[in-house]
Amino acid sequence: MSELSLYTYYRSSAAYRVRIALHYKSIPYQSQYIHLLKEGGQEKTAAYQRINPQKLIPSLVDDGNIITQSLAIIEYLEEQYPEPPLLPGAPVERGLVRALAHSIACDIHPLNNLRVMNYLEQTLGIDKPQRDQWICHWISEGFAAIEKHLSQAEKTAGKKRQYCWGNEISLADVCLIPQVYNAKRFHCPLEVYPNINRVYKNCMELAVFHQAAPESQDDNEL
């Protein structure tokens, strides 16, 4: 198999998801760095638009085939490299894990993406405190629902669960950890989510989450 290339930016939480999946599955890959702030955003260059016309990070290249969208990339990796799995075996369980993942990737993250922030600030004229209020508002809407789900699942299981899906790392953790990273970056209050905090702490005890983290990337400026 040829080595995979991942177009990535250290602070991109969508790329962070894919990096976690790659490290979790021990898949070797090369990073192609796209700086979202330099040169007015390298994701907008003609060269990168040939890779991803959506002008978004991440993109994965496998043997000349380009796959975009972090969840599509991770599902592709799951099919190509099934072990260790990021989705449970039973269809209903897979549905539940995907629902958690989508609640982050489809309903929280897009509202807080860089291009949305730029539009709010540069076109609609909101200031930084209002921008940060917007970011934390949508994170708290989404996290409140995830927290309820995790607390309900724990009650049903009758014992503490290490990760979003019991004691197995899953696609839900792959999406949750980068979103918590974002929430911390923008100083959103997180103390009201004990279950999310527990999952975050447990995941961050694992090497793969560190290897994929923004501070471990060669393009990091932290």
Ligand X SMILES: N[C@@H](CCC(=O)N[C@@H](CS)C(=O)NCC(=O)O)C(=O)O
Instruction: Report strand pairing: 4-8 vs 59-62.
Output: antiparallel
Could you say which of 115, 131, 149, 198 contacts ligand X (CB under 6 A)? 115
> For 187-212, b where at least 16 C-beta lie within 10 A, e where not — what string?
ebebeebebbebbbebbeebebbeeb
Minimal distance, residue 71 CB to ligand X, in Å: 6
Comparing CB distances to ligand X, the nearer of 52 and 195 is 52
Does 36 bind ligand X (CB under 6 A)? Our answer is yes
Does 213 bind ligand X (CB under 6 A)? Our answer is no
Could you say which of 32, 41, 126, 168 contacts ligand X (CB under 6 A)? 41
Minimal distance, residue 163 CB to ligand X, in Å: 21
Q: Are 199 and 173 in contact (CB under 8 A)?
A: yes
Could you say which of 5, 113, 162, 216 contacts ligand X (CB under 6 A)? 113
Does 70 bind ligand X (CB under 6 A)? Our answer is yes
Does 69 bind ligand X (CB under 6 A)? Our answer is yes
Return the residue matching tokens 């100083």: 187
Distance of CA 130 to the CA centre of its chain: 24
What CA–CA distance (Å, rounded) separates 201 from 220? 22
Does 112 bind ligand X (CB under 6 A)? Our answer is no
* Most distant pair of Cα atoms in the chain: their distance: 54
Comparing CB distances to ligand X, the nearer of 114 and 120 is 114
Comparing CB distances to ligand X, the nearer of 12 and 31 is 12
What CA–CA distance (Å, rounded) separates 88 from 173? 13
How many residues bind to ligand X according to rule CB under 6 A?
17
| Closest chain position to ligand X (CB) | 115
Rounded to 5 degrees, φ, ψ at 158 are 75, 15
Binding interface with ligand X (CB under 6 A): 12-14, 36, 41, 43, 55-58, 69-71, 105, 113-115
